Structure 1
């Protein structure tokens, strides 16, 4: 049985700022007259359900719906409590990474839930292909927490941060905690076996 760090997502209280992990992934924020809303299109329904389950303890309502293309989508309610997060991650209509952003364990967990997957011996965190200026700062943000990734596919359809090596993947796993109980989630979770 593995032992998790005192910094793991399982030991932290949920916070609105943790939803930055969805924005590090291909998630979007939108300002409305009722406050900001955060949404992310994901590959699987279990991902959307797990994301919503992580959001609700922050006091923000979340729901699973479908994108226009029919993919699962997790989204928050429009809420003024999300406006500050939206502003930090936006420069006009463009997504940006706040200077010196360091992902919390819970924000990393949300990033993994939204866009993490094993790829051979590596673990990959997908980035937003529509926000290329966020890729290098997000790589630097992972370095700040002891996970040095490699940017791959920068000019391709799906840019990602590739995490290679047992030590780096163990650090990621230590931070994000155990997977949701769904067997599909277990198969997509980082592993150091």
Structure 2
């Protein structure tokens, strides 16, 4: 898998911290071209209201619908940012590992969005799309002035969770998983926690002073549900970085 790199230069190479997967090695539930095989309907669910309702969201996991631009709300639930320019918008996110770059560039490409990346301070990488009208509705839903806020109808699906996890999900031994949040998005944390709970993934908010901000997901049942919703690990993900069914 090649990345467009800095300024889409032909000479740019992907980050060397982790090798790119072989082009012929598709992710679970996808074809060799990177497009998902449809399994079930593509209708998006509304927020579940109970633990049992949350369990039903397994049927709307990451492999149950075709990729859609609306899925990128999962990146905004985490540390992703969106900015507007005229009638266009651009989405960006900083990640802490090169394998995440490979996964996110592929996920964006599957939604018809070209992306570039560049190294930033602290051995991190910034992944960003080009400015495009395609992202204008997402920006309109999430931006209040310059501030990021989840819309009142925000809910989490398997594909949104998969993108969030790919960008900012971290295993926490011996038995937990952290879904990291935007450090400057304090007003988003509570409604995002509500969306997690509605998906059957009620988590504990970890404050910045305790190693967050993030939501900590614990418990065999919740971790199993997370694994079912996000689907199999991407080929680029190192071992033990992705939740697995119990």
Structure 2 CA distance for aligned equivalents of residues 139 and 33 of structure 1: 32
1:100-115 paired onto structure 2 within 5 Å:
100-115=153-168
Runs of at least 4 residues of structure 1 off by over 2 A?
Answer: 63-70, 154-158
Report the CA distance shift for 1:36/1:179 in structure 2 as closer, same or farther (over 3 A).
same
Q: TM-score, normalised by structure 2?
A: 0.72
Question: Which residue of structure 2 aligns with residue 142 of structure 1?
Answer: 196
2:240 aligned with 1:190, yes or no? no
2:56 aligned with 1:9, yes or no? no
Report the CA distance shift for 1:180/1:46 in structure 2 as closer, same or farther (over 3 A).
same
One of 64, 69, 89 as aligned partner of 1:36: 89
Question: Which residue of structure 2 aligns with residue 124 of structure 1?
Answer: 178
CA contact (8 A) 1:117 1:190 kept: no
SS at match of 1:85: helix
Q: Name stretches of at least 5 consecutive residues in structure 2 with no aligned partner.
A: 1-38, 40-57
Question: Larger Cα Rg: Structure 1 or Structure 2?
Answer: 2
Report the CA distance shift for 1:174/1:192 in structure 2 as closer, same or farther (over 3 A).
closer
Alpha-carbon RMSD across the aligned residues, in angstroms, is 1.9
Q: TM-score, normalised by structure 1?
A: 0.90
2:183 aligned with 1:152, yes or no? no
* 1:66 Cα offset (Å): 2.4
